[in-house]
Amino acid sequence: MLPEVEPGSSIMPGKVNPSVPECAIMVCYQVLGNDYAVAEAAKSGQMELNVMTPLIAFDLLWSIRLMANTLGMLDEFCVRGLSVDAGRSQQLLEKGLSLVTALNPYIGYEVAAEVVKIALRDNKPLPQVILEGKILEEKDLRKILDAKTMTEPGIVDKELQQKIQDSENFKKFKQSLRLK
């Protein structure tokens, strides 16, 4: 959640505008323009002399000053005030179909693809489809879809993988999809 640094949106009451990040982006565009000017001026030198040195020095120093000031502003008025809406983040995580990527090693590509299709067709969260289809036990599903675990490097839990693939519920679900 962005910190409020100015009155809200003129067309959307209650919205917090990303004014500071937008300002930082504008500064980056200016620095890109300065970089282009410096590159063109540097190409204009003849016989190791460059009459464009004042432009090069000015734009380079200006860009450094702009970026330094912008980074300070971004830190003070944006980064330090950021907060996480844990409830909303959890909601988005649970609704996201990209979670199937973590399930792929455990239930296989074909089953994972079918689960996504069912979730889309029925407008249901992926975990709900998996639990309703009795593909996995809830505790195993929670373990696989743990956000902290998913963001750390690691190897697939081979024991859990085998347990899932050997379970009667998983085999029945797979058969119902007519998959081998």
Q: Active-site residue numbers?
A: 9
Please name the residues in contact with 84: beta carbons below 8 A apart, sequence gap of 6 or more: 1
Kindly report the CA angle at 89 between 86 and 94, in degrees rounded to 5?
125
Q: Which residue has the tokens 């089953």?
A: 111
Residue 9 has what DSSP assignment?
A: -
Q: Which residue has the tokens 């983040």?
A: 89
Whether the CB-CB separation of 109 and 101 falls below 8 Å is answered with no
Whether the CB-CB separation of 135 and 168 falls below 8 Å is answered with no
Q: Which residue has the tokens 């910190």?
A: 3
Three-state secondary structure call for residue 49: strand
